[in-house]
Amino acid sequence: MVFITTQSINAEILRQQRMAKEIANEQAKVSSGQKINQPSDNPQDWVQISLVGRQQSINQAWQSNLTFAESRATKASTNLNDINNLMTRVTDLLVTSTSTGDGSPGREAVAQELEGIRATINELLNQKDYQGQPVFDETTTVNVPVGMGISVESVPTRQSVAENAVGTKSLDDVLADAIAAVKTGTADDRSAALNDARTALDHVIVAQSLQGVRSQRLENIGDRLSSQSLALTERRSGLADTDLTETITTLQNKLITLEAAQAAFARINRQSLFDLIS
């Protein structure tokens, strides 16, 4: 009889120890905010959390690439807009040159301003950003990976903007002809230079439109990546985050049960040996 009672007491001690461990686990869930702190807590969900975490890391890499692509696209759009404004100014200057006499100070001022515009446009076309990256790609576009099997171009090539603006003429050729027409050309030369300048301006406008398409695609991809990121975060939260209401209720119930068991155990231990064997 004494052996049986001692065995029961040992079993109760083990039960209370297990209950104390469970309470400690529930307290850890509350303090950490995570209901799974180690694989043994829930092996299946732990695997799912690991897979979601890996996809989140991949998503972050894609979003980082997208940010880089968007920064390049923004700079390219800015430069194209500046070139547009400068080419518009070129057409205005060529119109002004028709109302000034040959060799007049006004004609010379127009020529000097055109030379300044030519230099500025060349600088814009060959400019590099703060990282040393060309604003416009050279010869071939650089595709940026922004998703599974998805790579996009963020900027045009310098050649596509600068060359073949008017037939085989580059923007620089058009500007050189305009300067020559203003300085030493005839009225017909200036008229031809004005027509070429307007055509070159249309060429720049087309380049701007294409860049707008690129920027819009990047924006759409950004929206999709943000949605994916939100879905992954919600999925991970559902798997890993502690339901505080449920966990606290469970914790309180286990604490009450443990306290009651400990009180009963203490009363039993206060009994005499005679009480145990009687």
- Number of structural domains, the chain? 1
Q: Is residue 84 part of a domain?
A: yes
What whole-number percentage of the chain has pLDDT above 90? 51
CA nearest neighbour of 83 among 169, 172, 15, 3: 172
How many residues in total does the chain contain? 278
pLDDT per position as a tens digit, 53-98: 888 899 999 999 999 999 999 999 999 999 999 999 999 999 988 7
Domain extent at residue 179: 45-239
CA nearest neighbour of 20 among 10, 12, 9, 8: 12
Q: How confident is the model at residue 33 (pLDDT cuts 50, 70, 90)?
A: low
Residue 106 in tokens:
């006004």
Q: Is residue 168 part of a domain?
A: yes
Q: Is residue 255 part of a domain?
A: no
Tell me the C-alpha to C-alpha distance, in Å, between residue 208 and each of 83, 159, 165, 272: 10, 14, 13, 96
Q: Is residue 148 part of a domain?
A: yes
Q: Is residue 234 part of a domain?
A: yes
pLDDT per position as a tens digit, 174-200: 999 999 999 988 889 999 999 999 999
Specify the pLDDT at position 160: 96
The phi, psi pair for 128, rounded to 5°, reads -120, 150
| DSSP symbol at 99 | T
pLDDT per position as a tens digit, 88-106: 999 999 998 877 666 667 7
The CATH number that applies at residue 235 is 1.20.1330.10
Q: Is residue 277 part of a domain?
A: no
Q: Is residue 278 part of a domain?
A: no
Which segment, 98-102, 158-162, 232-236, is predicted with the most confidence on average?
A: 158-162
Q: Is pLDDT larger for residue 105 or for residue 137?
A: 137
Average pLDDT of the chain is 83
